[in-house]
Amino acid sequence: MMRFRKFRKGFTLLEILLVVVILGILVAIAIPRFTGGAKEAKINACKANIALINTVWELDYIKNGEWRDLDDLLNDKNYFPDGPPKCPFGDPYEDKDGDHRVDPHNHE
Domain count, the chain: 1
pLDDT digit string (tens) for the chain, length 108 residues: 556 556 667 888 888 999 999 998 888 888 877 777 888 899 999 999 999 999 999 999 999 999 999 999 999 999 999 999 999 999 999 999 999 999 999 987
- The span from the CA of 91 to the CA of 107, in Å, is 10
Residue 23 located in a structural domain: no
Residue ranges making up the domain that contains 82:
31-108
Residue 84 located in a structural domain: yes
Residue 44 located in a structural domain: yes
pTM of the complete model:
0.70
Residue 7 located in a structural domain: no
Residue 54 located in a structural domain: yes
Residue 80 located in a structural domain: yes
Q: How many Å is the maximal CA-CA distance in the chain? A: 101
* Best CA proximity match to 99, nearest among 64, 58, 52: 58
Yes or no: say if 63 and 86 are a contact pair by the CB < 8 Å rule. Answer: no
